[in-house]
Amino acid sequence: MWLSELADALTSAVRGEVDFSARRRAEYSSDASNYRKVPLGVVFPRDADDVAAAVQVCAEHDVPITTRGGGTSIAGNAIGSGVVLDLSRHMNRIISVDPHARTARVEAGVVPGALNAVLAEYGLRFGPDPSTHARCTIGGMIGNDACGSHSVAWGRTSDNVLELDVLCYDGTRMTLGPMSQSELDAVISRGGRPGRIHAALRGLAEEHQAVLRSELGRFSRQVSGYARHPLFPEKGGNGAGDPAAREAPWVRWRPR
């Protein structure tokens, strides 16, 4: 009864498909890893508002969520015991491309291989190129800070993300990216959930700065753990690498 109520609430809240069938749950119980976790159901949001609506319903029912892209994770990142939000079916649009600034705004379900095919006419490409570039998604690459063989030259995914539209589990939506110390102070002084998050992140960086400065960022492909060193002032206080739910990232493109 409780599961059917959750499915009905999600169906009423989102415009995308909601599938709690045994077949769909089995299909989404695994990714490219050896792990298996059967979800309660799967939602296919059509846009960021759909994601927000689905997250709100799940929060009201105290149900965890897992966002999923191409399901190419070999560490179980794309599976979970709650509700899976598959962003690859509908949220795969290239919103805008600025070849002069070498930037693009895309949805989280965009496949990097498809993006590079579009950008080839401008002589540009997205630098990080994991082996699954023809199947994985930009959102998954951000969550995993994906690298690839050319990341040695062009950096990891986090080095190529300029800005993120972020949705928290409590429904808070905000934009993360580089900001000056005065801008950060202003955000914190305004309070609210965004202010508290930024204050906590800055406090974390300040409290552990000795370890962060000595242990993180020592080599270009150091991706283990949560990289907090970009929060230092000399790094621009960039929160765009934060592992929160991603919607539409700005990404930087490199010459081919």
**Domains of the chain (ranges plus CATH)?**
2-86 (3.30.43.10), 94-255 (3.30.465.10)
Q: Which residues contact 91 (CB under 8 A, 6 or more apart)?
A: 45, 46, 47, 48, 51, 107, 108, 109, 247
pLDDT at 249 > cutoff 60: no
Q: Are strands 250-252 and 103-106 parallel, antiparallel or unpaired?
A: antiparallel
Task: State the pLDDT at residue 169.
Answer: 92
**Predicted confidence (pLDDT) per residue in 228-243, tens digit:** 656 666 655 555 544 4
Segment 162-187 shows an average pLDDT of 89
Angle at 125 between CA 123 and CA 127, to 5 degrees: 140
Encode 153-167: b = buried (16+ Cβ within 10 Å), e = exposed.
ebbbbbbbbbbbbbb
Res 157 pLDDT > 60: yes
pLDDT tens for residues 10-19? 999 999 999 9
Whether the CB-CB separation of 13 and 54 falls below 8 Å is answered with: yes
- The pLDDT value given to residue 178: 82
Share of the chain above pLDDT 90, in %: 61
pTM listed for this prediction: 0.86
Q: What pLDDT, on a 0 to 100 scale, did the predictor assign at position 65?
A: 97
Torsion sign (Cα): 158, 35, 66, 18? positive
Task: Say yes or no to pLDDT of 161 above 60.
Answer: yes
Q: What is the pLDDT of residues 18-64, one digit of tens each?
A: 999 999 999 999 999 999 999 999 999 999 999 999 999 999 999 99
Q: What is d(CA 48, CA 122) in angstroms, rounded to the nearest whole number?
A: 28
pLDDT tens figures, 220-229: 666 666 666 5
Q: What is the dihedral of CA 17, 2, 76, 202, to 10 degrees?
A: 90
